[in-house]
Amino acid sequence: MLGLFLPLQQGAWSPSTWTRGTSWSFDYNAECAVRADEFGFDLVFGLAQWLGKGGYGGQMQFRANATDPLLVTAGLAPLTRNVILISTVHILYGWHPLHLAKFAASIDHMSHGRWGLNVVTGYKKSEYEMFGIAPIEHDLRYRMADEFCALMRRLWAEDENLTTEGRWWRMKDAFVAPKPVHGSVLMVNAASSGAGLEFAAQHSDLIFITSPAGANLDRACEALPAHNARIKALARAHGREVRTIINPHVICRETEREARAQYRAILEHQDPVAADNFHATFAGGDQSSWRAATREDWVIGGNVHVVGSPEQVVEAFARLHAAGCDGVQVNFYDYLPDLEFFGTRVVPLMAEAGLRRALTC
């Protein structure tokens, strides 16, 4: 599987002021999504994050502006043809399952069955506080998410009005029509903790994983086989098959030398305040993902760094695939030109290497 991490946030993944045209604007993201669709990507994905004024700050005001992925994916529906559009939603920030079941079914119809939901429970105390909600303990969040998703599924499945009293949500004579095109939307989440993976095993079709060993490709490829095997075994214990996907930051140029020069330039032009604040977010919080990532890893972004010529990038993807990852969702630095080069030079080589298999909802 091949995905594109959309740059909905100002500065995307890299707190660096090195030159680039990447923009958080809808038009820019739409161009990225349309191009990814034309290059045969399986999915595009939007992150959701709630930051105060100035985002992560620094000279570049990293992530100060960011559009909402739910609305962006709705907007992308009529502009794209085949690519699956995945939106993140923080389901515990004041949502009712009936809202999201209805919105999901609506966007799924707008995209003719090409919509996916990345369920996140929110790992930042500051986000909960923005919504006036007391932060919820980590594992409890996943128990709540379990009830929330089970209720959405019932709303998608049932032919009669639903009256139910859950532990956290209740409804009387609730109904959703139309149902999602394929009965459900593609369900996604990202997890590393026991509770997060248990939730994923029960609810998700696709699981975003992070490297348990930081962004270095060699170390990631040593740690990933056991990690992927554990996740898939967990899903099988629930009688389900899940696919895992990882998000490498790709810096690809005609030669390795040029790619490495770009890597160094991004690092050398880091915005120190933004980088400190960005790194502190992941070093803090109660999430288990990204624990091994260093501050320098975060200046580049993504959770594995893939740097080199088109052939080397494909070789790296083959190694990630051999390590049990079913897909890669790539981030870039200078999105449109990087995507153009990647689509033209790398995607055909991936197909030749047998690394492309279409994802269906």
Ligand X SMILES: Cc1cc2nc3c(=O)[nH]c(=O)nc-3n(C[C@H](O)[C@H](O)[C@H](O)COP(=O)(O)O)c2cc1C
Q: Which residues bind ligand X (CB under 6 A)?
A: 47-49, 88, 120, 122-123, 190-193, 196, 208, 210, 247, 287-289
CB of residue 261 to ligand X, shortest distance in Å: 27
CB of residue 233 to ligand X, shortest distance in Å: 17
CB of residue 149 to ligand X, shortest distance in Å: 14
CB of residue 238 to ligand X, shortest distance in Å: 17
**Nearer to ligand X among residue 44 and residue 190 (C-beta):** 190
Cis peptide bond prior to 97, omega within 30° of 0: no
Residue 177: how many other CB atoms lie within 10 Å:
9
Q: Are strands 162-165 and 170-174 parallel, antiparallel or unpaired?
A: antiparallel
Token pair of 43, please?
């999915």
Which residues are within 8 A (CB) of 232 and not within 5 positions of it... i.e. 6 or more apart? 241, 242, 244, 324
**Nearer to ligand X among residue 210 and residue 309 (C-beta):** 210
**Nearer to ligand X among residue 25 and residue 288 (C-beta):** 288
CB of residue 199 to ligand X, shortest distance in Å: 8
In degrees rounded to 5, what are phi and psi of residue 135? -55, 145
**Nearer to ligand X among residue 190 and residue 235 (C-beta):** 190
Kindly report each contact of residues 79-83 with a partner whose C-beta sits within 8 Å and lies 24 or more positions away, as own/partner. Answer: 79/30, 79/33, 79/34, 80/33, 80/34, 80/37, 80/44, 80/111, 80/114, 81/37, 82/37, 82/40, 82/114, 83/33, 83/36, 83/37, 83/41, 83/42, 83/43, 83/44, 83/114
C-beta of residue 162 within 8 angstroms of C-beta of residue 169: no
Token pair of 73, please?
């994916």
CB of residue 142 to ligand X, shortest distance in Å: 7
Q: How many residues does the chain have?
A: 361
**Nearer to ligand X among residue 109 and residue 219 (C-beta):** 219
**Nearer to ligand X among residue 73 and residue 287 (C-beta):** 287
Token pair of 18, please?
């090195």
**Nearer to ligand X among residue 196 and residue 343 (C-beta):** 196
- Name the residue whose CB lies closest to ligand X: 196
CB of residue 322 to ligand X, shortest distance in Å: 20
Query: For residues 279 and 347, what is the distance between their CA atoms, to the nearest angstrom?
Result: 31
